[in-house]
Chain A
Amino acid sequence: AQTVTQSQPEMSVQEAETVTLSCTYDTSESDYYLFWYKQPPSRQMILVIRQEAYKQQNATENRFSVNFQKAAKSFSLKISDSQLGDAAMYFCAYRRDRDDKIIFGKGTRLHILP
């Protein structure tokens, strides 16, 4: 069965600094998609970034970028120039292509220190 593991339950970073959140996944599939979602205190889930497994190039969205290592089954999120508004729960997610099942990790709570 597929699993998604986020090994850091909580992290803190100084405002304007860079932080990296870790995610590993276990799958025997070759076609899949990976995502990072942000959940602020409102509990609304917001997509941060997506990565298709068939693409070698790492995805970037403004201050957010990923380090996708397919062989290692690793998908970390780097947040540059951290801002107070980045404080939230961050979830890593895996989507299986053959039947659209989407599973999530347990999340990392990110604190931004002013």
Chain B
Amino acid sequence: DGGITQSPKYLFRKEGQNVTLSCEQNLNHDAMYWYRQDPGQGLRLIYYSQIVNDFQKGDIAEGYSVSREKKESFPLTVTSAQKNPTAFYLCASSFVPGGKNTEAFFGQGTRLTVV
């Protein structure tokens, strides 16, 4: 079945450690996104990528890094520079507009807890 897979579902890390969240899609989508969700804050865009080997900062990129070496994969690294990393992280993908559906499809999310 086609879809977006985020792993793991729950992740625990000690403060000061970097951690990488996985996101894989087999929908042949060009664009991929990372969002952070906190209570009362909605979804805030961290990074997005329209094409392999290219990505842009979103509204809250500080303390995060990404790579897009393959069309199917867009891993997010939460670095020790991120001051408050505990949150729910959502990955999404979509076609780029041009006759195809324009909505984003989402993974099931990763809950990161830093202790």
Contacts and interface: CB of A to CB of B under 8 A. Distances in A.
A60 B83 CA distance: 42
Q: Looking at chain A's contact residues, is the secondary structure mostly helix, strand, loop, or mixed?
A: loop
A47 B109 CA distance: 16
Interface stretch (A69-77, A78-86, A103-111): A103-111
A45 to B, nearest CB: 4
Q: How large is the interface on B (under 10, 10 to 19, 20 to 34, 35 or more residues)?
A: 20 to 34
Contacts of A93: 104
Given A43-B109, A45-B90, A97-B97, A102 B41 contact: no
A66 to B, nearest CB: 14
Contacts of A91: 42-43
Interface residues of A, number: 24
Contact of A101 (B45, B92, B101, B109): B45
Nearest to B45: A103
A79 B45 CA distance: 27
A50 B103 CA distance: 7
Given A101-B45, A106-B42, A52 B106 contact: no
B101 to A, nearest CB: 8
13 contacts: A45-B92, A50-B103, A52-B102, A99-B56, A100-B31, A100-B48, A102-B33, A102-B48, A102-B94, A104-B35, A104-B42, A104-B45, A106-B42
